[in-house]
Chain A
Amino acid sequence: GAVVSQHPSRVICKSGTSVKIECRSLDFQATTMFWYRQFPKQSLMLMATSNEGSKATYEQGVEKDKFLINHASLTLSTLTVTSAHPEDSSFYICSAPLVGASYNSPLHFGNGTRLTVT
């Protein structure tokens, strides 16, 4: 149980275009979704937290206008990389806790999206 489906797994786009990444919780409701970015051979850096029914919370240094996050329903959160540039190329991973989970509960991760901007 507790599966997060993330699509697409890989995407290549041209510089200046926008790309949307979707994360769906398949068998649970996710009121919160965390969006992480992972550079090659590096850690997962939290970009933002989306909350169903309210505005996303962005971490310091993350451009809100470039990384648009929407939490449209209890099972869907999206990250749109607008006007993508080569430096936005990275691995993006979403994750969600179960609603009402205890603090020692794990996050449930999507399989990630490899974004390449040419």
Chain B
Amino acid sequence: AQTVTQSQPEMSVQEAETVTLSCTYDTSESDYYLFWYKQPPSRQMILVIRQEAYKQQNATENRFSVNFQKAAKSFSLKISDSQLGDAAMYFCAYRSGVDSSYKLIFGSGTRLLVRP
């Protein structure tokens, strides 16, 4: 079974600085997809960024980028120019490209605090 591990329960960053959230996963599959979701205090799940395992190029969405290391099974999220609104829980998630269910398996989450 696939697992997703986020080893940082909480991270803190100064406003305007850069922070990296870690995520590792375990799978025997070669076809899969990785996601980062943000959950603000409202509890709404918001997609931040996604990465296809078959793509070598790291995904980027404005201030958010990933460092995808397939051999190391690592998928970290970098937030540049951190803003107060970035404060939230961040979840890394895995989706099998083999299992047709489309389900997401989530890591335990990292709480990001942004200091003004």
Contacts and interface: CB of A to CB of B under 8 A. Distances in A.
Interface in A98-112: 101, 103-104, 106-107, 109, 111-112
Interface residues of A, number: 23
A106 B47 contact: yes
Contact of A43 (B97, B102, B107): B107
Interface string A68-108: 00000000000000000000000101010100010110110
Interface string B38-57: 00001111010010100000
A117 B47 CA distance: 31
Contact of A44 (B91, B101, B102): B91
Interface in B77-116: 91, 95, 97, 101-109, 111
A42 B106 CA distance: 10
Contacts of B107: 43
A19 interface: no
Contact of A32 (B33, B101, B111): B101
A44 B106 contact: yes
B35 interface: yes
B106 A43 contact: yes
A49 B108 CA distance: 20
A46 interface: yes
Contacts of A49: 101, 103
A43 B95 contact: no
A109 B109 contact: no
Interface of A: 32, 34, 36, 41-46, 49, 57, 91, 93, 95, 97, 101, 103-104, 106-107, 109, 111-112
